[in-house]
Amino acid sequence: MGTRLEFQTLLEGLGNGVTVYFQPPPDVQMVYPAIVYNRDFLTNHFADNIPYAGMLRYQVTLIDANPDSPLHPLLMAMPMMRFVRHYTSANLNHDIYDVYF
pLDDT tens digits, one per residue of 65-95: 999 999 999 999 999 999 999 999 999 999 9
Q: What is the fold of 4-100?
A: STM4215-like (3.30.2000)
The pLDDT value given to residue 82: 96
CA distance 101 to 1: 5
Q: What is the model's pTM?
A: 0.87
CA distance 19 to 63: 10
The pLDDT value given to residue 52: 76
State pLDDT tens for residues 10-31: 999 998 789 999 999 889 999 9
Is there a contact between 20 and 8 (Cβ–Cβ < 8 Å)?
A: yes
Instruction: Give the strand pairing for 34-47 and 19-22.
Output: parallel
Q: In the chain, what are the domain boundaries?
A: 4-100
Q: 3-state SS of 78-100?
A: CCCEEEEEEEEECCEEEEEEEEE
